[in-house]
Amino acid sequence: MPDGTAEIRKGRKFDQVLDGATEIFMTEGFERASVDEIARRANVSKATLYSYFPDKRLLFVEVMKRECERRAKEAEDFIDKSFPPKQVLPLAGRVLVDFFLSEFGQQSFRMSIAESGKFKELGQRFYDAGPGLIERELVPYFEEAEERGELRIEDKILAAHQFAELCKARIFPMTMLHIKDDIPEGERATVVSEAVKMFLARYGT
Amino acid sequence: MPDGTAEIRKGRKFDQVLDGATEIFMTEGFERASVDEIARRANVSKATLYSYFPDKRLLFVEVMKRECERRAKEAEDFIDKSFPPKQVLPLAGRVLVDFFLSEFGQQSFRMSIAESGKFKELGQRFYDAGPGLIERELVPYFEEAEERGELRIEDKILAAHQFAELCKARIFPMTMLHIKDDIPEGERATVVSEAVKMFLARYGT
DNA sequence: CCGGATCTGAACCCTCCTGTTTATACAGGC
DNA sequence: GCCTGTATAAACAGGAGGGTTCAGATCCGG
């Protein structure tokens, strides 16, 4: 075992291929993306590509795996548990909004939804890196804040999801359905601010 | 002009084709659905199908148009504006939840998201029949309720979207990503009930 | 029962895509 | 400078799907 990455992979242009595949899959989706296009974008021959990945599906799964892990790691620990909700929630909400309004957030959501039927494990993986992550981050915070008397929540898991959904109000469907491509600064701030207000009106002390 | 439907259509098995196409598109999505399969399901020859619709894309657009109209009509007037929020909101929420958990709701959402990039007008149409409809139904109700002193809402449009999003908490992502296929009665009721509680905590009087 | 419109089925063309193969170029270690 | 493993380009096989065509069956109004 020459190096640490104990995976079934092979050679040297591996990441190059994955990067190219990520780009193409993100803009085209699974069906529309062609292997030739991926190889071209990755500056790699199709033969090389197929020497790493047995087929297109596996390549796709690998792309989504990596991307989910990457994003999940990025998003962790953006919460300082010792601060009160009035400070933590606006920040968390803003991170959330900016994420799912980003090109990457949009596309991975789109693709996960479109292909989760075909690749059963994929839906689970994206869920863990998305809604699941939010749950894992917020629930412990709610618990600490409740001990400090700053919140009072019976169903903390539901509350975490409610907060996340509130942050999508009016903007998420719009971008998801390509009604608008960009949401201006002001609108993002408003939505987050109103989400926090509503959340605290219900669970605040 | 022989009949009222002033469209560019033709013959007699028109609806048969549309019905079959709807079924296939709903279960397969645009890309995966094959014209042969649609013709087979519709008990119609491919030649007939192509005598009505110039190509697959147009057929798809027509299916989505009809389905959006159909659902929009079904969903109208389920609100009795004279009742107080405590009664109206649970009902409205329940209709919402049952809709987007239905096989049809799920699939049309999935498809609209997946294909709205390719068919620009489609996103708009689905938006009007979905989030747009909610807005058009709830905002006038909020206004009347506010006049009666039952609510106090500055941004009524945002509030309508917030309520809709609250109804999705914890259940919508799960079904969308195929984590769970059915949401039991109890969970639906809980989510709606908690959505209403939160909404009234913020905007109730 | 007749005649024109509509529908059928099956073959067909063409394009595109996945996946394979082969002969060639190139790289770095010894 | 040679040798081995890797990358390349390009062509190819196999198949699927969209769209067309046409001779014949079928329907329906008159």
SS in 3 state form for chain A? Answer: CCCCCCCCCCCCCHHHHHHHHHHHHHHHHHHHCCHHHHHHHCCCCHHHHHHHCCCHHHHHHHHHHHHHHHHHHHHCCCCCCCCCHHHHHHHHHHHHHHHHHCHHHHHHHHHHHHHCCCCHHHHHHHHHHCHHHHHHHHHHHHHHHHHCCCECCCCHHHHHHHHHHHCCCCCHHHHHCCCCCCCCHHHHHHHHHHHHHHHHHHHEC
Task: List A151's β-bridge partners, or say none.
Answer: A204
pLDDT single digits (tens) A128-177: 989 999 999 999 999 999 999 999 999 999 999 999 999 999 999 999 99
Inform me whether the C-beta atom of residue A114 falls under 8 Å from chain B C-beta atoms: yes
Give bridge partners of residue B204 from the DSSP assignment: B151
Q: What is the mean pLDDT of residues B172-197?
A: 96
User: Which nucleotide is nearest to A54 if distance is taken from CA to C1'?
Assistant: C19
CA distance B44 to A84: 64
Which chain A residues are Cβ-neighbours of B168 within 8 angstroms? 165
Q: Which of B177, B182, B35 is nearest to B110 (CA)?
A: B177
Residues of A in contact with B196 (CB under 8 A): none
Q: In the predicted model, is pLDDT for residue B9 greater than 70? A: no
CA-to-CA distance for B170 and A155, rounded, in angstroms? 11
- Residue B60 and residue B32 in contact, taking contact as beta carbons nearer than 8 Å: no
User: Which residues of chain B make contact with A107, given a CB cutoff of 8 A?
Assistant: none
Distance set, CA B180 to CA A107, A125, B174, B186 (Å): 22, 14, 6, 15
| Contact between chains at B198 and A198 (C-beta distance less than 8 A) | yes
Residue corresponding to tokens 């899959």: A25
**Whole-prediction pTM:** 0.88
Q: How far apart are CA B176 and CA B174, in angstroms?
A: 6
**Among chain A residues 33-52, those with CB within 7 Å of any atom of strand C:** 33-36, 46-47, 50
Distances (CA, A) of B87 to A12, B90, B192: 64, 6, 12
Nearest CB among A113, A158, A198 relative to B170 is that of A158
B160: helix, coil or strand?
helix
Interacting residues of B172 by C-beta distance below 8 A, sequence separation 6+: A165, B100
How many whole angstroms separate alpha carbon A173 and alpha carbon B161?
Answer: 10
Task: Give the whole-angstrom CA distance, residue A82 versus residue B168.
Answer: 29
pLDDT of residue A11: 67
Q: Which residues neighbour B55 within 8 Å (Cβ) at sequence distance 6 or greater? A: none
Please give the Cα distance from B180 to A119 (Å, whole number): 14
pLDDT in tens, B160-179: 999 999 999 999 999 999 99
Interacting residues of A138 by C-beta distance below 8 A, sequence separation 6+? A79, A92, A156, A159, A160, A163
**Contact between chains at B123 and A158 (C-beta distance less than 8 A):** no
Of A8-12, A47-51, A76-80, A134-138, minimum mean pLDDT range? A8-12
Nearest to B114 among A110, A173, A199 (CB): A110
Task: Report d(CA A75, CA A88) in Å as an integer.
Answer: 14
Confidence of residue B10 (pLDDT cuts 50, 70, 90): low
B168 near A CB under 8 A: yes
What is the amino acid identity at position B183?
I
For chain A, give the mean pLDDT.
89
Higher pLDDT, A114 or B163: B163
